[in-house]
Structure 1
């Protein structure tokens, strides 16, 4: 009965999305305020019934209702309760229901927190959200129903959740990633609504910007969490592999980063409007492309869902409609997308334009590297591989000018800047970066790597340039304390975002150039020394878990005869799935990680171990969190709290007038 309630609620939610697509736009066309005002209650209804459907599926997993096919294929009576809940989004059908709950949630949040938007504009935005919902609800109901039954052949027990997903990181990683993916639909909806109205001004950019930043924050944290999960769970010690599914989340992040900067220019200077519209379309389209890659069956990855081609065909068609329809609308309205700001070659606008160009080029590189092997194979030209060396080399050359402009951009004024005014600050910041970029590896590392010097130079340049920019601003005021406050949350958010990027860049530079990896053979009682640390293999224990049994190695670490920590690393054998998974041992430090993974038994009582020394690896994820914190600080800026008088720029209130 619960499954039927869930399925029926999904049908009702689909009906609400259809009404949300039609009624508000009909009201705009007829200038009927009542029909336009229906957009909000229809949005709330869509969210409410999607929530009921999701709760019904969660209940089915928690009570092990194996009459539901999705539960039978992805859960088991031995599975711990917390992972039964995680199993809801451990399958294609359940994860897509979570996707739709988040989609409806973004729409409901938009309806709730933008009540002061002009009624006409709000009706258009919510109607576009309804259009997106229609495509996804039909996809679920026609190809991916999470409530399909196993009746009459109800299994006694389930197939169990993929052991890769039986991990705390997977409890929050997919929801955060989906929040980012789906969140870009709001920026897309604002762009399409503005194009429909034929008026793209500073107000539209200001309204769209906090929603875009919010989506970017979730995607940033989601990607960082996925990187951290791969680092400690998969047992190979890597944090990024340029896996096609990793690329699928990275592409909308790059486009979203460019979109945030473009929105800033559109809001403050009335420029880059075409950039902003196209980047909003691109960010959401790339999110849909990622969905297609993960769920179409064209990729083989630990992150991908194995699905049939029919689902991929539906998603590909929907992707074509979204991209084709939005670009057609842009072409029809392109004459109305006019930028008014004028600026010289040496100005902040040009710095931001340069960064956007580099971000778009980076996005195209990742897109090409991800899709070219697939296209090549589909054309019958054989298999080709585009892997880590290609991406590393290209991104190295893209990062150099990007980091230089990230540091220089805030120092440069809008419209025009005299080089003489900032020459001293720029040269001092760059000189300090060069000096410390070379000196730090020379002092603290066993060898000086050219790439390490370059990476540190770029990161320190961003740090010193940010300090120089703040100092220049404070020099123009008398009271330093009040000046720091008057810079505003948005400005400090930008500073934190740039510093976060610098911290991540330091982490990547150091771990890529100075990490040590060793495969060693140890028997109980034997030791191995690396980088001043001694790893002593004490014993191997047999452990029985709720749905697995494992061999747990006990490793005691010392340095200069002083105890550091005792680590545990496991080989788990999951009973139902009959899969083996590695649980790594980690000794975490601010400047380095000690990482050990248990391998196979070698036949004479000894075991293979993989030992890593990873300097600054935590800085990669710390930088991502600092960037996300900067985004959150930017959203708190009071100018994004829409005032009633500014809301009248693009329309009227409840009586309704077309824009």
Structure 2
């Protein structure tokens, strides 16, 4: 009965979404306030209905109701309870239901917290959001119904994919979807503004918080996915340039550009056309990512579906929304005002420079991701575009962008002083030079690129703090007054500093692990030792263990430094009988920001020894610590009241009218 309730709620939510798609839009065109208000009611009600459907599916998983095909294919009664919950979105049908749940959630947030938006803009935004929701509800109900029944019901399920049975998968997909789908609000605002014909600084202020929310979640989601792949897949890498990884990275690049472009539009009423286009392209890249994961055109550990029918359906959705949005943009672009003028050397110019390199980088990743697919369709040839291509194209684009980051906040609006900004960055330049010299000395002058990489990282770290130091005027006003000024700065200033500082931390981790990583691959038996990075690694024993739904071969190692044991590491291989699959569970010892990483390979023919891969990864955790700092920076910016208030409150408007009267 619970399953039927969920299915009925999903069908009913489609009806509500259809109402939301039409009536508020008509109300905005005719000025009918009651019709416009239906958008608020429908958005809230639609979210509640989809939440009921999602809760029904999750209940089926928790209770191991194998009469539901989706539960039978992706769960098992022996699974730990946590993975019964995560199995809900660990498959195509359930993850799409989570997708539309988050889509409806964002629509309901606009409905509930958009009281200060102009009535027509809010109605148009909710209608556009409902168009997207309607399309994906049709997709779920027609091709990916998660509530399909089995008769007779099997006694046991086929188990969740073993590599998805990890705590990381309880966190990664929801975070990623909150980012992916969150950009739909920016898209809806852009289309609503094109329909309404009103695009100004106030519009930019309204769109920035929603874009920032999506960017925060996508940043954290990508970082969590990277770390999950790092420790769960046993390959020792943190980024593979996998097409599905790229599918989440492209909207992040475009979304970062959109954040900076919206800032220029809000402050200077400039870049209006470009900001609208970026809002469209960012969500278009999110839709493209959805297509790549679910169409079956890619084979990846991240991919969910291989059914071509689903791929064609999503491709139609992709063409409809991207094509329709770009067509509307082409019709309206000529009538939009260009906005304020500014000198090339200015804060606006720095942000345009930022946008230029970010969008070019996104285009580079897009070409590298889609070209093999295009070539296979057109010429029938299969090629692989991997890390060498992206390293040689994406990397050089990032160097000038990262070098320019500290300059932006130090330049004035409309017209800036580049020489003055450079003079204020003397300390950052000194830190970068010191890092360059130290690395060259440490490596004997043999790793010039590594030295420049460290210098760039320290340039970013020190440069990001320079803006706050100068705004507080510690040197002129003294430390006590400077501290008081620092605490009085708007939160968005701290958020910007944290985001740029986090970028520097991530770069420091990338350069360090890429340059100084050590690897040892050998066959070890109990009692054997190897040396790596000044540590002695001893293979103590190997045990057979039984888990709730798997059998494990666990190897225990001891780590010694100077003859003293400093850590024990356990790495294992797990066999899941229900799926007939084997996974590798890496053993990791973290000391400060570095890690000793162990992964087991295949056993020898005599079963007395096993292949062991050991890596020493200096400062590797800074990669994800930096992403976390960036996310925290976004949250601090979001807490700035100026960013959360898009227009005067109604009470203030009434007070102003009364004073005028």
Tell me the SS of whatever aligns to 1:38. Answer: helix
Q: How many residues align?
A: 649
Report 1:212-361 matches (<5 A). 212-361=211-360
Q: Equivalent residue for 1:655?
A: none
CA contact (8 A) 2:519 2:613 kept: yes
Deviation (angstroms), 1:447: 7.1
The aligned residue for residue 555 of structure 2 is: 553
Contact between 2:44 and 2:108, CA under 8 Å: does it hold in 1? Answer: yes
Q: By how many angstroms is 1:321 displaced?
A: 0.8
2:209 and 2:644 in contact (8 A); partners too: no
Aligned-CA RMSD value = 1.8
* Match status 1:382 vs 2:384: no
CA shift for structure 1 position 646: 6.6
Distance verdict in 2 for CA 1:323–1:648, change over 3 Å: farther
Higher relative contact order (CA 8 A, sep 6+): 1
Matches within 5 A, 1:382-401: 382-401=381-400
| TM-score normalised by the chain length of structure 1 | 0.96
Instruction: Report the Cα distance in structure 2 between the residues aligned to 1:583 and 1:634, rounded to whole angstroms.
Output: 38
Residues 167 and 560 (structure 1), Cα distance of their counterparts in 2 relative to 1, 3 Å cut = same
Match of 2:503 in 1: 501
624 and 518 in structure 1: CA distance in 2 versus 1, 3 angstrom threshold: same
> In the superposition, relative to structure 1, how do residues 275 and 486 fare at CA in structure 2: closer, same or farther (>3 Å)?
farther
Q: Is the 8 A contact 2:271 2:339 kept in 1?
A: no
Q: Is the 8 A contact 1:600 1:607 kept in 2?
A: yes
Give the match for residue 525 of structure 2: 523
Please identify runs of 4+ aligned residues in structure 1 that moved more than 4 A.
Answer: 445-448, 646-650
Distance 1:473 1:84 in 2: 51
Aligned to 1:42: 42
Preserved contact between residue 465 and residue 501 of structure 2 (Cα < 8 Å) = no
Cα distance change on mapping 1:32 and 1:648 into 2, 3 Å: farther
Residue 467 of structure 2 corresponds to 469
8 A contact 2:403–2:456 mirrored in 1? yes
Say whether 1:638 aligns with 2:629. no
CA contact (8 A) 2:571 2:585 kept: yes
Residue 143 (1) aligns with residue 143 (2): yes
Match of 2:71 in 1: 71
Whole-angstrom distance in 1 between the partners of 2:311 and 2:437: 50
> Which deviates more, 113-122 or 366-375?
113-122
1:183·1:214 contact (CA, 8 Å) conserved in 2? yes
**Partner secondary structure for residue 379 of structure 1:** helix
Indicate conservation of the 8 Å contact 1:411/1:465, yes or no.
no
The answer on whether the counterparts of 1:489 and 1:634 sit within 8 Å (CA) in structure 2 is: yes
Aligned positions of 1:115-194 closer than 5 A: 115-151=115-151, 153-194=152-193
* Aligned residue in 2 for 1:613: 616
Segments of structure 1 that go 5 or more residues without pairing to the other structure are 651-659
**Local SS of the residue matching 2:379:** coil
Give the TM-score of the pair, scaled to structure 2.
0.96
SS at match of 1:117: coil
Deviations 1:34-87, CA, capped at 9 Å, x for gaps = 111111111111001101100110111111111111011101111111111111
Matched, 1:624 2:627: yes
Query: Once the 2 structures are TM-superposed, how far is the Cα of residue 26 of structure 1 from its aligned partner?
Result: 1.0
Distance in 1, Cα, partners of 2:503 & 2:208: 20
Alignment of 1:432-511 (within 5 A): 432-440=431-439, 442-443=441-442, 448-475=446-473, 478=477, 479-511=481-513
Residue 451 of structure 1 contacts residue 509 of structure 1 at CA under 8 Å; is this kept in 2? Answer: no
Offset at 1:482? 2.9
Counterparts in 2 of 1:10 and 1:227: CA distance versus 1, 3 Å:
same
Contact 2:468–2:493 (8 Å) recurs in 1: no
Contact 1:36-1:120 at 8 Å conserved across structures: yes
